[in-house]
Structure 1
Amino acid sequence: MTHQPQATARQPAPGDRVMIGLSGGVDSAVAAHRLIEQGYRVEALFMKNWEEDDAPGYCAAAQDLADATAVAQRLGIALRTVNFATEYWDQVFESFLADYRALRTPNPDVLCNREIKFRAFLDHALGLGADWIATGHYARITRDSDGCRLRLCADPNKDQTYFLYLLDQSQLGHALFPLADLTKPQVRTIARGLGLDNAEKRDSTGICFIGERRFRDFLARYLPREPGPIETPDGRRLGEHQGLTYYTIGQRQGLGVGGVLGGTDAPWFVAAKDPGRNALILVQGGDHPLLQSQSLAADHLHWIRGLPPGPLPFPCEARLRHRQPLQACIITMISDQGCEVRFVEPQRAVAPGQAVVFYAGDTCLGGATVERAMSP
């Protein structure tokens, strides 16, 4: 069963059947509780999406399922399980690896939201008779006669609209975000009051659905190590890297470069990759000119409402990473799916493959994938 676009956004109402994605974490647990309080008929679904390894300390899927089961029992709701490992591999992980092979820095959470949480999960839930799906994302949806708007949530430190910019009207039209008006400390307080065992469980980090691990070692299982020289922009050799795929623009940690004779003590940062010579280019100081870009080219442009919010060139705000303060910019189309984004202030460490996400006030408009940075 596939979901279809809606011309007018339907409003949720008590008594509607909601399937919540229960991950085992505190956010989805409190989201489920709030739905119950609001009068919805709530069921839960636990998704397992990674089967390549289940070593302790990595995915910890078994522990997450145990936590989700305990939450469902505490709240008195039914819990189903589903395995989307094939969909995750085909729709998310293969793209993730392809980007790294192309020396880009992908953001798998963005694709994972579109393809797994709001496509595979949504279709599965609707097929089971649900009216809505819900998740523990920190974001807000408003609905009117023109459709759905994705908006910033109450907690600016947790807002996740950056990771949701690829969603469309059909996906948002079936989604509920019960944590929209809460901060993370408030969520934990509610969980403690409910006696949930996962009230203090720390937030998950790492790759979406794969978890925390030694990233370079993990990537080396799928992409070969190809060592090469680490150099300064003027060609001085600083050492040897393990493979250009393992580094991202702006990276500071894990470079294996100490002080340089006659140099300063300023930290080193990745400024560029030279695939022709398999060289990694480093500069000193986070404000080095080679780390600054006044504009960027982006492709795969996506508007949440389906169309640009106004005539282009279009002034708005954007962010290049989660939690970055919004930056004033102007968007100009350069192809059917490509645009140039010019910022009022230069931006640091623009990395190809990452997302640039657009906003107007508290509304997320959509975004695009960074293709290349442009110098000031």
Structure 2
Amino acid sequence: MNAPRTIVGMSGGVDSSVAALLLRDAGESIAGLFMQNWNEDDDGECRAEDDRRDAVAVCGRLGIPIHFRDFSREYWSGVFEHFIAEYAAGRTPNPDVLCNREIKFRHFLDAAHALGAERIATGHYARVAMAGDRWRLLRAADRGKDQSYFLHQLGQAQLAATVFPLGELAKTRVRELAREAGLPTAAKKDSTGICFIGERDFRGFLARFLPAREGEMQTPDGRVVGRHPGVFYFTLGQREGLQIGGVRGFDAAPWYVVGKDVARNVLLVDQGADSPYLHSTRLWSEPAHWVDGAPPAGRFDCTAQTRYRQQEEPCQVSIDQTSGQLEIAFPRPQRAVTPGQSVVLYAGDVCLGGAVIAATDAPLERQLRGAAA
């Protein structure tokens, strides 16, 4: 039996199901591959076995073979250990970015090549196109579903061996195609949980790896307004879960996380979604990754996202030629730019690359850095 040209990453969801459907109907030689990247827990909330059954059912419906690979050890060492270390340091990591780089477009791609395939396909909403002699990562046609933010760590080798069949489609059309083809995942709810870990109570899950360490919640001027179970359970701009009741001397406006003093185990909070403590106009990053292999210039203007689904913002990027780190200035103040998250850069629909945010000029962050110096 000849090896398939393309291996489709089958997650058990509707997007990967329709990606496989479109390739099969286009006459492509394909097979599916289901990745197990997290060992099941006693609580059963990961639902990996349900996803596996759905992936098998879809491949059966499409009449294509399916393979299985266990990457749980690679996920633990390549993604999850970093995830926990970042939270322990008071930062807020984005595991989906690292998961794509280390698992889906490294170990999965290697597995596909070992099976004799030339390339892989996934259900991501993004596009790949050739411009001259370089591959470009482009936003999806459906901007509301675009996932190029999570794919910005890919490079030329990965893009040359990847196809995104859903890149030109709206999500509503994907659901329609699944229904028309009678796929068992047509009405399946989209996953919104952590990459490969699933949907669960996040604080309870994190507490298994970072034991609770209670401390004070304070206003920026040092007044105690409550207690927290651990600063690493919270992120900048967060409102939910603070459980601050009526506090004498303050009005009834909602409270938001505006800073984390890990050294003192203090969670800093303020009232109002537009608290000045949440805003910054400048950030500094760790060394950047460039999809093209190199930046467009040492200093250039573009747009940026500092979180997924954020409206892109104009900015000026300056690159440290020695370290590869970025300094990014925004004409308009940005809310809750969070160390540990990724800043991703765009020129129109073209994703240029990005980097992990290391620091910002938000007032409390500057103050805490000064105290630690």
TM-score (norm 2): 0.94
Structure 2 residue aligned with 1:329: 315
Alignment check: 8 A CA contact 2:75 2:103 kept: yes
Q: 2:286 aligns with which of 299, 309, 314?
A: 299
Structure 2 residue aligned with 1:312: 298
Alignment check: 8 A CA contact 2:218 2:267 kept: yes
Alpha-carbon separation, structure 2, partners of 1:198 and 1:375: 44
Alpha-carbon separation, structure 2, partners of 1:211 and 1:197: 20
Alignment check: 8 A CA contact 2:89 2:262 kept: no
Write the letter of the residue equivalent to 1:67.
D
Alignment check: 8 A CA contact 1:298 1:338 kept: yes
Write the letter of the residue equivalent to 1:301.
A
**Deviation per residue, 1:153-211 (Å, 9 max, x gap):** 11111100000000111111100000011011110000000111211101111110000
- Alpha-carbon offset, residue 278 of structure 1: 1.1
**Deviation per residue, 1:292-342 (Å, 9 max, x gap):** 001111113110111001x22210000011111110000112352211110
Structure 1 residue aligned with 2:6: 18
In the TM superposition, structure 1's runs of 4+ consecutive aligned residues that sit over 2 Å from their partners are none
Secondary structure at the counterpart of residue 331 of structure 1: strand
Alpha-carbon separation, structure 1, partners of 2:348 and 2:273: 29
- For 1:171-250, list aligned pairs within 5 A: 171-250=158-237
Give the fraction of aligned pairs with identical amino acids, expressed as a percent.
53
Structure 1 residue aligned with 2:340: 353
Q: 1:29 aligns with which of 9, 17, 40?
A: 17
Write the letter of the residue equivalent to 1:327.
E
Alpha-carbon separation, structure 2, partners of 1:267 and 1:62: 41
**Deviation per residue, 1:23-77 (Å, 9 max, x gap):** 1100000000111122210100000010151533x21011001101110011110
Secondary structure at the counterpart of residue 287 of structure 2: strand
Alpha-carbon separation, structure 1, partners of 2:111 and 2:85: 27
Alignment check: 8 A CA contact 2:37 2:196 kept: yes
After superposition, the Cα gap between the structure-2 partners of 1:163 and 1:101, relative to the gap in structure 1 and judged at 3 Å, is same
Aligned length, in residue pairs: 360
Structure 2 residue aligned with 1:365: 352
- Alpha-carbon offset, residue 262 of structure 1: 3.2
Alignment check: 8 A CA contact 2:280 2:337 kept: yes
Alpha-carbon separation, structure 2, partners of 1:259 and 1:320: 33
Alignment check: 8 A CA contact 1:299 1:339 kept: yes
Secondary structure at the counterpart of residue 272 of structure 1: strand
Q: 1:166 aligns with which of 132, 138, 153?
A: 153
TM-score (norm 1): 0.93
Alpha-carbon separation, structure 2, partners of 1:50 and 1:19: 21
Alignment check: 8 A CA contact 1:54 1:61 kept: no
Alignment check: 8 A CA contact 2:4 2:116 kept: no
**Deviation per residue, 1:112-156 (Å, 9 max, x gap):** 000000000000101110011000000000024322100011111
Write the letter of the residue equivalent to 1:35.
L
The runs of 5 or more residues in structure 1 that have no matched partner are 1-14
Write the letter of the residue equivalent to 1:205.
T
Write the letter of the residue equivalent to 2:28.
Y
Q: Which moved more, 1:89-98 or 1:272-281?
A: 272-281
Write the letter of the residue equivalent to 1:313.
R
Alpha-carbon separation, structure 2, partners of 1:304 and 1:65: 32
The runs of 5 or more residues in structure 2 that have no matched partner are 364-373
- For 1:58-69, list aligned pairs within 5 A: 58-69=45-56
Secondary structure at the counterpart of residue 308 of structure 1: coil
Alignment check: 8 A CA contact 1:147 1:173 kept: no
Alignment check: 8 A CA contact 1:114 1:167 kept: yes
Alpha-carbon separation, structure 2, partners of 1:70 and 1:211: 20
Secondary structure at the counterpart of residue 288 of structure 2: strand
